[in-house]
Amino acid sequence: MDANVRELSYAQAIQEAMAIAMEADERVFLMGEDIGIYGGAFQVTGDLVHRFGEDRVMDTPISELGGAGVAIGAAVTGMRPIFEFQFSDFATLAMEQIVNQAAKMRYMLGGNVSVPLVMRFPAGSGTGAAAQHSQSLEAWLAHVPGLKVLQPSTPHDAKGMLLAAVADPDPVMIFEHKLLYKMKGPVPEGHYTVPIGKSETRRHGRDLTIVATSIMVHKSLDAAAQLAEEGIDVEVIDLRSLRPMDTPAIIESVKKTSRLLCVYEGVKTLGIGAEISAAIVESEAFDYLDAPVMRLGGAESPLPYNPELEKAAVPQVPDIVAAARKLVCKEA
Q: Which residues are catalytic?
A: 64, 133
For residue 72, with 0-12 CB atoms within 10 Å meaning exposed, 13-18 middle and 19 or more buried, which class applies? buried
Helix (H, G, I), strand (E, B) or coil at 82: strand
Distance, CA of 248 to CA of 120 (rounded, Å): 27
Do the Cβ atoms of 331 and 302 come closer than 8 Å?
no
C-alpha to C-alpha distances, 168 to 25, 48, 156, 171, 172, nearest whole angstrom:
13, 22, 19, 8, 8
What residues form DSSP beta bridges with 81? Answer: 29
Distance, CA of 200 to CA of 239 (rounded, Å): 7
Do the Cβ atoms of 178 and 127 come closer than 8 Å?
yes
* Residue 304 DSSP class: P
Distance, CA of 260 to CA of 242 (rounded, Å): 17
C-alpha 62: how far from its chain's center?
Answer: 24
